[in-house]
Amino acid sequence: MFSLLPKADVFFDIFERAAANAHECTLALAELLERFDDLEARRRRVKELEHIGDELTHEVIERLNQSFITPLDREDIHELACTIDDILDRVDTAVDRICLFKIEKPMQESKELARCLVRSTALICEMIPGLRKMASPEEMRIKVREVHRLEAEGDSLERQALARLFEDSPDPINVIKWKNIIEVLESATDKCEDVANVIEGIVLKNA
């Protein structure tokens, strides 16, 4: 039903659920790469979390369409929902390709990229509640800088992985497979940075 005065907490509640879901998805990725067993079951778990993320994004969009007044700019609400969802899409794609390509064992850099994603999404989970009462810009900036540092670490891991692949792997098909997976994992760290930037922008705009 169309609402002129929706509960402001509704959008914040959804964002917190979406961030927690994204964090759970990166934890599932990290566990898959660390244990590397029962891959199909682990793939299904990641897919389930990705679907939950889609549902949460759709819920945000539906509520935007039903609301005349929102607690934040409509564009910011939409962008934040979509950028959080982008993280899950990249993780899901990486896991799909690990299974599709029949990868026999994970590269060390893939494990380290997963750890970067776990730490980044944990920071996002810490940042999101700050939107309710608008945490101080400096407090938010500290967390944003750490997400930026983790994204830079992801870039470095990608370069390291690609260099090692081209130097050490005698199998060109293996190179192609892992190049694809590593690039998707690194792009997920980019998406974490995008989320952090959106949150920081909202806080600065409303400070």
Predicted confidence (pLDDT) per residue in 55-74, tens digit: 999 999 999 988 878 888 99
Is residue 1 domain-resident? no
Q: Rounded mean pLDDT of 19-46?
A: 97
Is residue 42 domain-resident? yes
Structure tokens belonging to residue 63: 């509520």
Is residue 85 domain-resident? yes
The full DSSP string for 123-152 is HHHHHTTHHHHT--HHHHHHHHHHHHHHHH
Task: Find out whether 26 and 118 touch, Cβ atoms under 8 Å.
Answer: yes
Domain count, the chain: 1
Q: The CATH number of the domain where 179 resides is what?
A: 1.20.58.220
Domain that holds residue 160: 8-206
Is residue 2 domain-resident? no
Q: Rounded mean pLDDT of 95-104?
A: 96
Structure tokens belonging to residue 92: 């899901």
Is residue 51 domain-resident? yes
Cα distances from 154 to residues 89, 99, 112, 114, 190, in angstroms, run: 17, 22, 8, 9, 8
pTM: 0.93
Cα distances from 48 to residues 20, 21, 93, 101, 182, in angstroms, run: 14, 10, 13, 21, 22
